[in-house]
Amino acid sequence: MTFSAFALPASRSEKAAPAVIGADEQRLADIDRALIAARDDVERRLAAARRIDGDGQDAMDRDIAVYGLVARQTVLRRFAIDLCLGKIVSTAGEELYIGRTGLVSPEGKRLLIDWRAPAAEPFFAATHQNPMGLVMRRRFRWKLGRVVDFWDEVFDPATLDGDVALDDQSAFIRSLGSSRTSQMRDVLGTIQADQDAIIRANSADALVVDGGPGTGKTVVALHRAAYLLYADRRISERGGGGVLFVGPNDRYLSYVDDVLPSLGEDSVTIATLRRLTPEGERALPEADPRVAALKGSARFEDAIARIVRSYERVPSEQMVLPTSWADVEIEPEDWAEAIEAADDGTPHNDAQGVVWEELLDILTAKVEEMPPHLARRELENHAGLREVFEKVWPMLDPAGLVGALWTSPRLLAGVTPWLSDDERALLARERADAWTTVDLPLIDAARDLMGDPAMTARRRQRERALVAERERIETVVDYLSDTDEDGEGVSLMLGAADMQERLIDEGALPTLTIDQLAGPFAHVIVDEAQELSDAEWRMLIRRCPSKSFTIVGDRAQARHGFTQSWEDRLARVGITRVSVSHLTINYRTPAEVMAEAEPAIRAAIPDANVPTSVRASGIPVRRGPIASLDALLDEWLAANAEGTACVIGSALAAERERVTALSAAEAKGLEFDLVVLVEPKALGGGIEGAVDRYVAMTRATKELVILEG
């Protein structure tokens, strides 16, 4: 072989012995050849699929085939032989190589097992207590397409035939301490047994992943999304709703943006809570925690529903409608019958058209002086009837209604009997549309109850255009029938209803935009879930009525306190079938940093789930004066050609590459080689201040510096 897949440094030359890596060299060479063949095959199949014509089911089948082939092509182009994560050897002597995706040679030999397949589970889940039929496991560490390290774990030395490279997982520990970048590292090859068990857990109900800083909660959540799309047919089949992944902020989403594509999945919908509503783009954080607490209550949904119902009342008096043939009497019973035609679950705005059509039917049936179709046509275009109807069943604006709550003391008082006068005064503001993030779940609830008026208008526009198109086609068919003397020509064929439907030009009709974030989704994964209010939980449940959730969080990182159990907390919002898994091993934060961070959180939350670090950086936590910040950063950048740093608690005097300044809340979920915490006492007192200090300290993967005074 003229090219070696291994580029082991001199310090690990003993691992390069042919007896140790010879079989791997051959397998990786086979993978290289198979990759070339697989790429060519996918490109041929993709080109053929795109040439397929047709509509209806044929078009759907073609689109599904193209979608799957493009996803496969993306993975095969993105990776070379580093598709391979490592291998396992069973007690029967069978070797299985595990990959990011499955791979077969042109001759039909299985070269790689997809990491999500059941056969690959022991690669992640086997332990010395439960080896799962393995005698050995080898994990590769890749850099620039070559293996720069690997480590072996032997479960049964007596039955192992061959050489291994035992180093007490030092390669694994080295991988944990590698430099960070602006995006989350690729950690698939180092998934641990406790994490893998959660990734592969059943998705029927709600699963809580509770873990402290550095335990890999986010890693588990992202890999679980990819696993469920592979393993759960209910979720993976198109039309099943798919997976929604919700993160705490936009910076966090940028940080994890590349993880799922690296796992071959680009169909997961990723969003923050504020992205779930159009108003979220310009919503500001709520500055007053008292207002946030009040609006976070799910009781406001009841208030909004009460307002909507007030616009659906039956008139109590008879109305007289003048028409060209006579006066038509509209009784309260007529309105009641028309309103009954709307199903209870239909949003108010969407139901308006149903009620209108039913009212026209009722009134037309009363007419004896004119042909029904002529009477209905006049009633349908009667300005007076439409004006009255709009008062009985008006089109409502969800955002406008929520804004009116804060600008109309009388309206707010009428629907919130549980609030005091002082609490209502807190909620009052001058501008109705001065949105804050705590308004968004309420707007979302209002939109769910009412329907989007703009979407309803577009739907009606499309329906009217469709009716006009059908009438046009019917007119043409009638003309052709009149000119077709024997009645057996083209007019006979066009007389069939399904043929006329085929003649409709869909491209000429108004298009309906689909809100991809409205759901429903088959499964929702939410990170930093300890911060969500009741109203925000309801927002997510509306998008996942099955309540199939993966809920990731840490009670000790809840800025406003979290005294309940997860089960009690979720039961409050209607999620009752819950299982809780705990992660207790800290893979990110060095022991030196955790020794400083643990007392900071235990002072406020004695029962905090503080994880145990598996490694030490050898760098003690340093302290110094605030005036040394610039010099400290310059010194660190000069000494470290790679890695990222974050300053928490202070703005940067001068912008620097690889250095960012964040608040503790903004840094949540992120990680940096160096964290500089400025004036930790300034973060405040109580639980919120303790949590912010704890979060800030535990972002460090190598070094923490605290500056004061």
Helical H runs in 269-347?
289-295, 299-310, 332-340
**Euclidean distance between CA atoms 595 and 87, whole angstroms:** 36
Give residue 548's identity as a one-letter amino acid code.
S
437 is in an annotated binding site: no
Give residue 334's identity as a one-letter amino acid code.
D
216 is in an annotated binding site: yes
Q: Residue 232 is inside which H or E element, if any?
A: none
Q: Are 267 and 74 in contact (CB under 8 A)?
A: no
Give residue 699's identity as a one-letter amino acid code.
R
Instruction: Respond yes or no on whether the N-terminal peptide bond of residue 520 is cis (omega within 30° of 0).
Output: yes
Q: Residue 322 is inside which H or E element, if any?
A: strand 319-322
**Euclidean distance between CA atoms 680 and 284, whole angstroms:** 25
685 is in an annotated binding site: no
**Euclidean distance between CA atoms 387 and 184, whole angstroms:** 58
Residue 344, classed as helix, strand or coil, is coil
574 is in an annotated binding site: no
C-beta atoms surrounding 516 within 10 Å: 10
Which structure tokens are listed for 379? 């009633």
Determine what percent of the chain falls in helix, strand and coil, rounding each to the nearest 5. Answer: 50, 15, 35
Which structure tokens are listed for 342? 């709307």
Helical H runs in 381-485?
383-392, 398-407, 409-415, 421-427, 440-450, 453-483
> Alpha carbon of 71 to those of 242, 244, 343, 594: distances in Å?
15, 18, 41, 41
Which structure tokens are listed for 251? 């910076």
212 is in an annotated binding site: yes
489 is in an annotated binding site: no
331-351 b/e (C-beta count within 10 Å ≥ 16 → b): eeebbebbbebbeeeebbbbb
Strands 585-586 vs 549-553: parallel, antiparallel or unpaired: unpaired
214 is in an annotated binding site: yes
561 is in an annotated binding site: no
CA torsion 540-543-545-546 (nearest 10°) is -90
Q: Are 66 and 43 in contact (CB under 8 A)?
A: no
Measure the N-to-C terminal CA separation of the chain; round to a whole number of Å.
62
**Euclidean distance between CA atoms 545 and 398, whole angstroms:** 21
Q: Are 179 and 521 in contact (CB under 8 A)?
A: no
Q: Are 168 and 189 in contact (CB under 8 A)?
A: no
CA torsion 359-365-370-371 (nearest 10°) is 100
Give residue 169's identity as a one-letter amino acid code.
Q
Binding site feature residues for ATP: 211-218
Binding site members: 211-218
